[in-house]
Structure 1
Amino acid sequence: MKTLALGLLLAVRGDRATRVRFVLMTAGCAIGVACLAAVLSIPTIVAAHDTRAALRDAVPARGAAAQQRAEGLPGLPLSLERRDPFGSRPVTRVFVARPPRGESPAPPGVSRLPGPGEVLVSPALRALLTEAPGLKGGLPGRVTGTIGPAGLTGPDELYAYVGRTPRQLAATGSEKVLRYGAAYAPHPALDEGTLDPLRFTLCCLVLLPLFVYLSVCVRLSAESRSRRLAALRLLGLSARDTVRVSAVETVCAAALGAVAGLGLYLAAEAAVAGTGWLGLAWYPADGLPSRSTLVACLLGCPALAHVAGRRHAREAALRPLAVRRGEHGTRPRRWLAAALALPGLGIVSTYCLLGLVDKAPGPSATTSLLVPAGALLTGAGLVLSLPPATAWLARRIAARTQRVSLTLAMRHHEAHPGMALRVVSGLVLLVYAASLTQGVLVELDQVSRRAAPNQEYELPYERLTPSQLGRAEQASGVNGRALAADFTDRETAVVATCAQLATFVRPGSVKGCVDGEILALRDPDVPLGPEGLPGAEHTLRLRDTEGRPAGEQRLTVPRRTVTVSVVQPSNVTSALVLVPPSALPAGTHPAAARLLLSSAPDQDTVRAVLDRLAAIAPTIEITPVGIVIDTLDQLTAVKGLLGTGMVLGLGIGVAAFLVSTADHAMSRHTRTAALTLLGIRPGTLRAAQSAQVVLPLACGLTAALVAGKLAESSYLVTGGGAVFWDTAGLPLLLASALVVLIVATVSCLPLARRHLDPEVLRKD
């Protein structure tokens, strides 16, 4: 008990510098634990999203056993689900028909299924109906209630139950619902292929810097604390009690910081949960820390503090005289840095060489294990190799320079390389992780983006009014239009001019096109069936502008051919004939025609066009050809989470720098006062102190850029995409590293003054 009381007394009843350091340790641990809880809670939030979706999913009465069970029940409801895009967001409409008798099962969030003419909507969809009343066309009936949180995956979900009669759903492909509550979510928030790169990036972007940051926080004022422990040992305190006093002080600060960090996370999570800022909205209860997260935060942080401080405490307990005299400790462990950095660099460099010789291995179980391991080992080795590398460089510079400020800086860094490391390690890892994040974004962009020069959109032509038709064709971002028409034998034709056809195919691939003439449409990469041979006859049904039948037109596949090259999937690929608009009777159009629009393929343009088309025709089904709307929704969540990881990584790096800089400023008061007493000018001291940080930071940023690009390229080589070398992201990384270097140089100016404080020298 005396040891515990002494440790607490030294932690909270010391001088002003001691109390400031204790507050810095506590605040630093709080920020670190809040970031750790945020990262560890992401899988919990995703799992809660999928669990809610699975619990409301209808289990149809399929199979013999289910049919027998269904026959024994008085009645089962019918259900039919439709998912349509509203801009870039999915709108889910579930048409349900209650049985004429008996109690039917109800999904979570509703007390009973809606009857015919009744509609239950989510709060987000109810709010959207006021902004886009055209959506009401897809929800026949009156809104009579709201779906509760138990039946929604998040507060921003667009979801509705539409009541119908059994006769209305009889011939629509609906199924009898045995119960609600499936084993898996039909539309997961993030699939496994997306979760893997997300986990890898967050580990490198947040967890690795966070581990270093927490180690920095619990080792604040290491030199002064070791000298104080050595003094206690010389006054008669046993070696075991000396170590315990140090443990009490560090664990106390870490424990308080862990509790404060969890409170900080809960407050931030409650404020951000429903906003959708992260690309994913959830209910605050879904983001509560799990038991494993609580253990990692409340026990892991104090345990790390104890382990980090134990070595220096044992040194003060076993060699108190050497610590009090300020003798140099052991040199940095080069073998540990080499043991981590060399295998990591070997792995990532090997994959880069395979990419250079065009022998990329592609995605596999081996690469999914080796690439993250190589990146993590490289990052850890990068930090641990800074002290020996910069100490060697400082010794060489000090032996050759004639400037007093540079000599002071290099000799001090040579003697204490770990002090500057604690200042710059967070910023170095931030630049390293930023390069990895660029690689993940490039790979996701390759996976999600069609390798086509255009993006097609398909809309039902006859459901568009003339006004909507004109506005859709003139929408900003739309650069082409055509009609896809079905023959009576289910073959298709494209109604377009030569210029319009060119917007749906590869640039420069249209050959032999003549305006005003019906032509056979050919793609050399698509096999030609007998229905596309010259002379084959097909019938095209026509309708007038009022939608009434307007006869038929027989078309014969001509011998003259227009050749194109199309990226699949595309409506042009399956077309046999190119029909110019002038070949159709005036005032007519093909029956059941589909309006085809084209735009640029980049994601920003696709999203903008989808939003504009949804605003023009809210209830019309808009199909972006080749793109699943759930993929866009997942990409939004992934980019939001990666952006959050970048913000957390930036916060960790900046927090580590600020905390270490403040501690560094306090720890050098005695040395600054002594040098000032010897006649060193304040300007010289400022230059020396800045150089102490600039040297390891410049070396670390250079190594981070090289190692980061190697790790990024290895990820791209094994990702299966076409881009191996992300040269477009290099200027941004260089600019970021330069800004970090300038800000760190300015921020590390010492607090050297002409006025000497005798108390500082007397205490020493």
Structure 2
Amino acid sequence: MWARDLFLGARFAVGGGRQGWTRTLLTAVGVGLGVALLLLATSVPEIIDNRSAREEARSAGTQYTETEPPRTERTMLTSDANTRFHGEQLYGRQLRAEGSDPILPPGVEKLPGPGEMIVSPALKEYLATDEGKVLAGRLDARVVGGIGDEGLLGPGELAFYKGSSDISLKSGAHRVEGFAQTEQQGEQPMDPTILLLVVVACAVLVMPIAAFVATAVRFGGERRDARLAALRLVGTDARMTRRIAAGESLVGALLGLVAGAWFFLLGRTSIAAMEISGISVFPSDVLPAPALVALIVLAVPVAAVLVTLFAMRGIAVEPLGVVRQSARRSRRLWWRLLPTAAGVLLLVPLAGSLTGDEADVDTKKIVAAVVLLLSGAVLLLPWAVERVVRKLSGGPLSWQLATRRLQLSSGVATRAVSGITIAVAGAIALQMVFTAVEAKATQDTGQDPALAQAQIYGQYTTVEQAAKLNKALKGTDGVKEAQGSLQAYVGLTGTTADGVSVTVGDCATLRELARIGDCREGQTFLARSSESDEPDEPQPERGDRLALDEIEGGGSKAAKDPRDRWTVPGSAKEVTSRKTADGQYTSGVMVTPSAMPVERLKEASYRAAVRTDLSDPEAMENVRTTVFQADPAYNIFEMKTRTTSGEFLGIQRGLTAASAAVLLLIGFSMIITTLEQLRERKRQLSVLVAFGTRRSTLGASVLWQTAVPVVLGLALATVFGLGLGWGLLRTMGQAKVDWLAFLPAVGVGFGVIAMVTLVSLPPLWRMMRPDGLRTE
């Protein structure tokens, strides 16, 4: 019986004339978009896994050990060459073959020689632009090839491999034998609060999609119900009629699955050209999990049937028409409160469970609580709209037309805003959690950007290299001041203590690091940190002997060269160190270049502070170019008062991309639903115009009819969103709550409504024409 009635409904959906096909097409498109986004959501784990696998494959060769492997025909030397240009991060490495058959990084067919580089397709395209020509001058190499997909994180990544004859083990390069992971690296567990943010975000972003699919299967429901009245004339009973209606919806859902697969494949082929928040994805990475695909294929048709049967409970399809406007029993409240109560019962016991760094996140309970509470908001919306519009009366004619329509049938208008209600409620809760997690993931650096805008750090630097880079920085356009020094750790003879810090610089540089007063070349200073009374490293005294060829305490063995032993002169002046732009204090021995045989220092590093002209937008790029051309392995850090963890920033970029997709879906859903309402009322609108009702009055009535459920929906979303956010913050042990977090989400909600209203106005004017009086 069920199969027969469902099949009959399917035949009506396919052969029901233009109106039947229109409804089926609307349902298929709506369900298809929802299914496409669900398929994309199920592909996210595969996207992440594939990106991580490629990242490990190309960086595995840099998993260095304390002992360098022996040189062979297959080994190569490599060092970092990462850089930034106008906010874009470039992945780069310098390569130098040590034999005739060197190993190759993933995606590279031939190793570049000195003065050559192999680039990603995106970087090659960028270098051809006017802006990219400046970057080409920084990289200063001829493009001889491209990097394949297996060597890139995404199609939009800017990456390059540059050949070099200058890098060596002494300059800080490392010898590698391959780019395949040989040791299993232990993964650091994700911070529980960040994991909570991810779990909540997944639930919040998927819920509106599910609501949209449920709404899509009801597209064109009023006209379909009217057509079903004709079946009662030929002897069908009420149950059979409902099953036939479910069969019609089932066809739309099945076609929606096909359309969703097509939308998904279409988007998959064009996803390589998209980049949101710096994230780009290869089409081959977008592979939904088979188990989740099977779940979607089963759940969507079943949901279509159940939603249709549930929606028709309050409709009496009689032989002479559909009875939905007569007085009926008010919507019950008690069962609509059950999901909210269940969500609260799940969330309350979790209070304080995520206060530790190693706390376990009960993802199942949190997801269930989020889903139940967001569902509670949607279930309460029809009841709230019914209760409010029942008491509305009087006012302008447009207001009366809108309120009367809502009093007679508010179901379609309520369904139209269910998605935005879920989205706004979830966004408010997510924003509250996001703010709390961001506060935890963000730390004060102690840096002072007013003293310097950038710090440069490089390892394995010689005196000549440091002097050359100092001169180049001071001559760089946009640089007001640059102070660079050499730093190294040396052994303190006769002790087993850690190494003593030695800083080498001219008087101007040392004056920035400590209060040295008068200074002349050849002078030595003993810097004492004013930050703590108990310094972490040993403090040398006058007469102490330092082992320049060692980086830790000891010096017990005899020196191979007498120049490797140096005595702190008795004339050394004790000074107090200053807090530098990076928030650190420099202690230990400070010398001018001629006071010590600095060429004997082992593993000396270069550190410089650069102050730029803030009115020159290219000053920082000029600094990066100067440093890169001196040594691409040197690091440049922009001074910031606060810093945020990279893990959190990655999640933030992912949330931005997902939120944009969900908002587009919600906007499309509301546009289709609004157009459906207008199409259902086309004849009524034309009759009112024929009787002399002004078009502006009818337009205002449509606006009011949309505005009332929207305002009530956003009000419910605010209450539920703040409540859910407060409950989630309690799991983190957060006492401080931002109760104004709802403002941005509600503002976006109103913005979506305004967009939908503007889009629906042109069809509204067309539907008021006299030809709307014609009937078939």
Counterpart in the other structure of 1:43:
45
Counterpart in the other structure of 1:657:
670
Counterpart in the other structure of 2:270:
271
Query: Could you tell me how far 1:12 is from its partner in structure 2?
Result: 4.2
Deviations 1:678-698 (A, max 9, x none): 886655444443222211211
Counterpart in the other structure of 1:507:
none
Change beyond 3 A, Cα 1:159–1:304: farther
* Equivalent-residue separation in structure 1 for 2:218 and 2:57 (angstroms): 48
Counterpart in the other structure of 1:391:
386
Which amino acid is the alignment partner of residue 421 of structure 1?
T
C-alpha contact 2:528 2:575 (8 A) present in aligned 1: no
Counterpart in the other structure of 1:66:
none
* Secondary structure at 1:532 match in 2: coil
C-alpha contact 1:51 1:185 (8 A) present in aligned 2: no
Deviations 1:200-221 (A, max 9, x none): 3542453111111111111123
Query: Could you tell me how far 1:254 is from its partner in structure 2?
Result: 2.2
Of 656, 663, 666, 1:643 maps to: 656
* Secondary structure at 2:455 match in 1: strand
Deviations 1:75-106 (A, max 9, x none): 89446664442223332456665699xxx987
Alignment of 1:572-651 (within 5 A): 572-573=584-585, 575-576=587-588, 592-597=604-609, 613-618=623-628, 619-623=631-635, 637-651=650-664
Query: Could you tell me how far 1:39 is from its partner in structure 2?
Result: 2.0
* Equivalent-residue separation in structure 1 for 2:754 and 2:655 (angstroms): 26
Query: Could you tell me how far 1:157 is from its partner in structure 2?
Result: 6.1
Query: Could you tell me how far 1:148 is from its partner in structure 2?
Result: 3.9
Which amino acid is the alignment partner of residue 30 of structure 2?
G
Tell me which moved more, 678-687 or 637-646: 678-687
Of 109, 115, 123, 2:120 maps to: 123
Which amino acid is the alignment partner of residue 622 of structure 1?
Y
* Equivalent-residue separation in structure 2 for 1:241 and 1:742 (angstroms): 41
Deviations 1:418-454 (A, max 9, x none): 2211122223333334435545654565465441242
Change beyond 3 A, Cα 1:86–1:187: farther
Query: Could you tell me how far 1:117 is from its partner in structure 2?
Result: 7.7
C-alpha contact 1:478 1:609 (8 A) present in aligned 2: no
* Secondary structure at 1:458 match in 2: strand
C-alpha contact 1:484 1:492 (8 A) present in aligned 2: no
Tell me which moved more, 194-203 or 20-29: 194-203
* Equivalent-residue separation in structure 1 for 2:170 and 2:626 (angstroms): 29
C-alpha contact 1:54 1:183 (8 A) present in aligned 2: no
Counterpart in the other structure of 1:508:
none
Change beyond 3 A, Cα 1:660–1:136: closer
Matched, 1:301 2:294: no
* Equivalent-residue separation in structure 2 for 1:254 and 1:472 (angstroms): 68
Query: Could you tell me how far 1:389 is from its partner in structure 2?
Result: 1.6
Counterpart in the other structure of 2:556:
none
C-alpha contact 1:255 1:302 (8 A) present in aligned 2: yes
Which amino acid is the alignment partner of residue 180 of structure 1?
A
* Equivalent-residue separation in structure 1 for 2:92 and 2:434 (angstroms): 27
Matched, 1:380 2:375: yes
Matched, 1:695 2:708: yes
* Equivalent-residue separation in structure 2 for 1:169 and 1:483 (angstroms): 19
Matched, 1:739 2:751: yes
Change beyond 3 A, Cα 1:192–1:11: farther
Which amino acid is the alignment partner of residue 217 of structure 2?
V
* Secondary structure at 2:609 match in 1: strand
Alignment of 1:296-335 (within 5 A): 296-312=295-311, 323-324=322-323, 326-327=325-326, 331-335=330-334
Which amino acid is the alignment partner of residue 529 of structure 2?
R
* Equivalent-residue separation in structure 1 for 2:182 and 2:34 (angstroms): 38
Change beyond 3 A, Cα 1:346–1:381: same
Which amino acid is the alignment partner of residue 623 of structure 1?
N
Change beyond 3 A, Cα 1:281–1:666: closer
Tell me which moved more, 41-50 or 529-538: 529-538
* Equivalent-residue separation in structure 2 for 1:62 and 1:739 (angstroms): 52
C-alpha contact 1:105 1:180 (8 A) present in aligned 2: no
Alignment of 1:1-40 (within 5 A): 6-14=8-16, 16-40=18-42
Matched, 1:705 2:703: no
C-alpha contact 2:683 2:773 (8 A) present in aligned 1: no
Alignment of 1:427-438 (within 5 A): 427-436=420-429, 438=431
C-alpha contact 1:492 1:577 (8 A) present in aligned 2: yes
Query: Could you tell me how far 1:273 is from its partner in structure 2?
Result: 1.9
C-alpha contact 1:340 1:381 (8 A) present in aligned 2: yes
* Equivalent-residue separation in structure 1 for 2:621 and 2:23 (angstroms): 53
Deviations 1:512-531 (A, max 9, x none): 94654657342545732573
Of 485, 491, 511, 2:500 maps to: 491
Matched, 1:421 2:406: no
C-alpha contact 1:513 1:519 (8 A) present in aligned 2: no
Query: Could you tell me how far 1:597 is from its partner in structure 2?
Result: 2.9
* Equivalent-residue separation in structure 2 for 1:519 and 1:96 (angstroms): 44
Q: What is the alpha-carbon root mean square deviation over aligned residues?
A: 5.6
Matched, 1:561 2:559: no
* Equivalent-residue separation in structure 2 for 1:168 and 1:550 (angstroms): 21
* Equivalent-residue separation in structure 2 for 1:194 and 1:159 (angstroms): 36
Change beyond 3 A, Cα 1:464–1:135: farther
Which amino acid is the alignment partner of residue 451 of structure 1?
D
C-alpha contact 1:120 1:147 (8 A) present in aligned 2: no
C-alpha contact 1:431 1:733 (8 A) present in aligned 2: yes
* Equivalent-residue separation in structure 1 for 2:574 and 2:164 (angstroms): 54
* Equivalent-residue separation in structure 2 for 1:343 and 1:478 (angstroms): 63
C-alpha contact 2:516 2:576 (8 A) present in aligned 1: no
* Secondary structure at 1:597 match in 2: strand
* Secondary structure at 1:273 match in 2: helix
* Equivalent-residue separation in structure 1 for 2:327 and 2:534 (angstroms): 78
Query: Could you tell me how far 1:655 is from its partner in structure 2?
Result: 0.9
Matched, 1:457 2:467: no
TM-score (structure 1 length as normaliser): 0.73
Identity, in percent, stands at: 20
Deviations 1:698-721 (A, max 9, x none): 12223323443454565566568x
* Equivalent-residue separation in structure 2 for 1:305 and 1:686 (angstroms): 33
* Secondary structure at 1:254 match in 2: helix
Query: Could you tell me how far 1:309 is from its partner in structure 2?
Result: 1.4
Change beyond 3 A, Cα 1:596–1:107: closer
Counterpart in the other structure of 1:527:
534
* Secondary structure at 2:457 match in 1: strand
Counterpart in the other structure of 2:91:
90
Deviations 1:616-656 (A, max 9, x none): 333432335699xx998766654442222121121111111
Change beyond 3 A, Cα 1:330–1:219: farther
Change beyond 3 A, Cα 1:625–1:523: farther
* Secondary structure at 1:703 match in 2: helix
Counterpart in the other structure of 1:666:
679
Deviations 1:387-427 (A, max 9, x none): 112221222333xx455544443343244332211122223
Deviations 1:343-394 (A, max 9, x none): 5467779999x89xxx967773247665554443332222221111222122
* Equivalent-residue separation in structure 1 for 2:261 and 2:632 (angstroms): 46
C-alpha contact 1:471 1:616 (8 A) present in aligned 2: yes
Change beyond 3 A, Cα 1:371–1:240: closer
C-alpha contact 2:245 2:308 (8 A) present in aligned 1: yes
Structure 2 spans left out of the alignment, 5+ residues: 492-498, 520-524, 549-562
